[in-house]
Chains A and B, each alone.
Chain A
Amino acid sequence: MEPKGIKILVVDDEVGLRDLLAFELGGHGYTVVTAQDGEEAIERLQREKFQLVISDVKMPKRDGMELLEAAKRIDPQVEVIMATGFGTIETAVGAMKMGAYDFIQKPYNMTEIQALVEKALEKSDLKSLIALYESSQAIFASLQLDRLLPVMIDLALKVLRADDASLMLVGDDGKLYLAISSGLPDTVQQNVRTAIGERVAGKVAEWKTAVIVTGSLKDDSRFGGIEGREGIRSAMVCPLVGQEGVLGVLNVNRVKMEEPYGAADIRSAAIFTAQIAQAVENARLHHSLADKIEELKRAYAELEGMKSQLIMADRLASLGQMAAGVAHEINNPLTSVIGYTDLLLQSESLSLEEREDLKVVQTQARRCRDIVQNLLKFARRRDPQKVPVDLAEVLKETMSLVEYEIKSSGVTLLLEEDPALPPVSADPSQLKQVFLNLVSNARQACEGQPESRITLRAQAVDGVVRVSCEDNGCGIAPGNLDRIFDPFFTTKPVGKGTGLGLSISYGIVKDHGGTLRVSSVEGTGTTFTIDFPFDAQVS
């Protein structure tokens, strides 16, 4: 290590010895500062950076041991050599244990001192490199920026020996924002965004060169009269340069410490900020990677959803075929049952009782017919006759069909519509059938529930037109949720439903290229959501 730029603090209460050491070491090119006791030395250490302290042990006010302890606390990188007179070897050993580099015995042997100083300084240099290495290790240990920032700012204070520090990063808007700071006075505005080229940070980001400002910023010709913060003795502003440009700016200030930043600090800062820049870049890379992974996960879930929709569609198709076959088989005998019953009822020779009984046969046979017709409706889905449709209009028409029935059962029916709903290509009568089915299910779910409410919504979201039907009714038991679209699955009492409504609705929505989903919490309510693809060609 070159003696130039190396500062040594010599502490001794004997002025002669002090001066001797100062003279000797100064002659070798070191900068030497002297102090006459521990207290004065500690004060100096708090203000300035020293690489080495050579101190007497026995001194008035605070002795060498106290100084050693304080010095290591103030700057863990500083090396301390203790000087002892005869008979205080035990003290010297204690000092070594406390972190002193070595000890020398008085009276000083100048050759010995010179060699020791050089060795101590080498160690000090190595130590600061190790510190830097360790700091970068710490920085790289985490990939999450919010965890990294406190580590970075903490290290900046220590490594660059600053009273306060702030780290600004370039945000999405291309401007610098304060990512983290430490030790800043409350008067500093923290939520300001600085454009590249503006103020000191912006200019440093633009120049991509670290600068040192010592004294008043206003008098610094490089910054053309920018008003700076009061009370900063010396400041260093360093750019964080990543592979694709400036990532941010690190600003360290010395307020209490008197020693101004110098060329050596710029070099340290360059190493340090390169590490920070790398870490920020890694964190961002990791972040975008995490985003990508999330995106993939979503795509996968979507694919899974599509798969289950396909399976469902397939299941519906085969069940539909079976249903149609059964319906066909039943239709002929049912025609005879209904027909003969009707014929018998025309007879005038029936007793009252016979007539009553036949009426029951007639009613039940017609119920069979309704069930079969529903089955056929399900199986015999025609292709939708698509025209451009305003879904809100279809919802309103549906509402007008059921409004009376719903109101009279004490349920509130609401419509929330997006005013700028794009038209979709759809078969309005089929959609009406779907909406009618959803609303009628919702109404049944609301039966006997206080303050029940059905809300229909039509809105444009994420490139689809979304219609939802939300009720605060009884909800669907979790075990039933994945069966509700199955044909013939019903939880309604006998005669109240065929279990085909949702299957038919599902099929119709699918024929429109849409999706029908359900979410429900038992006891809280149910929401059915239909997404229709928004067809850009529809005008």
Chain B
Amino acid sequence: MSAQAHILVVDDDRGIRDFLTFALTHHGYAVTTAENGQEGLQKYLGGTFDLVLTDIKMPVMDGVKMLSEIRQRTPAQKAIAMTGYAVEDKLDLLKDMNLVPLLEKPFTLEALLSLVQQVITSSSVGGEP
């Protein structure tokens, strides 16, 4: 990857946003944050992102709703969903709209970095060619 990869981080927990910003910036990524799905969607529409890293359960608009809006516009948008509390039906929705990898909270730095790296460098989204 030549240019700095740009990641949209969406989470309602400030601690998580701060940590992700710090850790990802520290490892060479550019980071934009939003604190709920609606804000995330607005920021998404105002820029170009190599990866959307989002929490699922959030006020105003949840991560699943936001991702489905994003995918309607950019079907090949790469994304990772973070969950601290698996809500089964939400996870099923994620499956339905083409595989979005799950990152279970709490995760280690290593797990975060390797998944981010893996998704960004992958040539396709989910099962798509």
Contact = CB atoms under 8 A, between A and B. Distances in A.
A327 B105 CA distance: 10
A329 to B, nearest CB: 9
Interface stretch (B93-101, B106-114, B118-126): B106-114
Interface stretch (A50-58, A77-85, A339-347, A404-412): A339-347
Contacts of A331: 84-85, 105-106
A187 interface: no
Contacts of A376: 85-86
A343 B86 contact: no
B109 A343 contact: yes
Contacts of A338: 106-109
Contacts of B85: 324, 327-328, 331, 376, 380
Interface stretch (B14-22, B45-53, B65-73): B14-22
Q: Which secondary structure dominates chain A's binding surface? A: helix
A343 B109 CA distance: 7
Contacts of A346: 109
Interface residues of B, number: 21
Contact of A334 (B26, B88, B105, B110): B105
A372 interface: yes
Nearest to A339: B19
A342 B26 CA distance: 12
A233 interface: no
Interface string A112-150: 000000000000000000000000000000000000000
Interface residues of A, number: 24
A243 interface: no
Interface in B1-35: 13, 15-16, 18-20, 22-23, 26
B112 A339 contact: yes
A369 interface: yes
A334 B26 CA distance: 20
A376 B105 CA distance: 11
A347 to B, nearest CB: 10
B109 A332 contact: no
A332 B107 contact: no
Contact of B105 (A324, A332, A343, A366): A332
30 contacts: A327-B84, A331-B84, A331-B106, A332-B16, A333-B15, A334-B105, A335-B15, A335-B16, A335-B106, A335-B107, A336-B19, A338-B106, A338-B107, A339-B19, A339-B107, A339-B108, A339-B109, A339-B112, A340-B19, A340-B22, A342-B109, A343-B22, A365-B106, A368-B106, A372-B106, A376-B85, A376-B86, A380-B86, A380-B88, A382-B88
Interface of A: 324, 327-328, 331-340, 342-343, 346, 365-366, 368-369, 372, 376, 380, 382
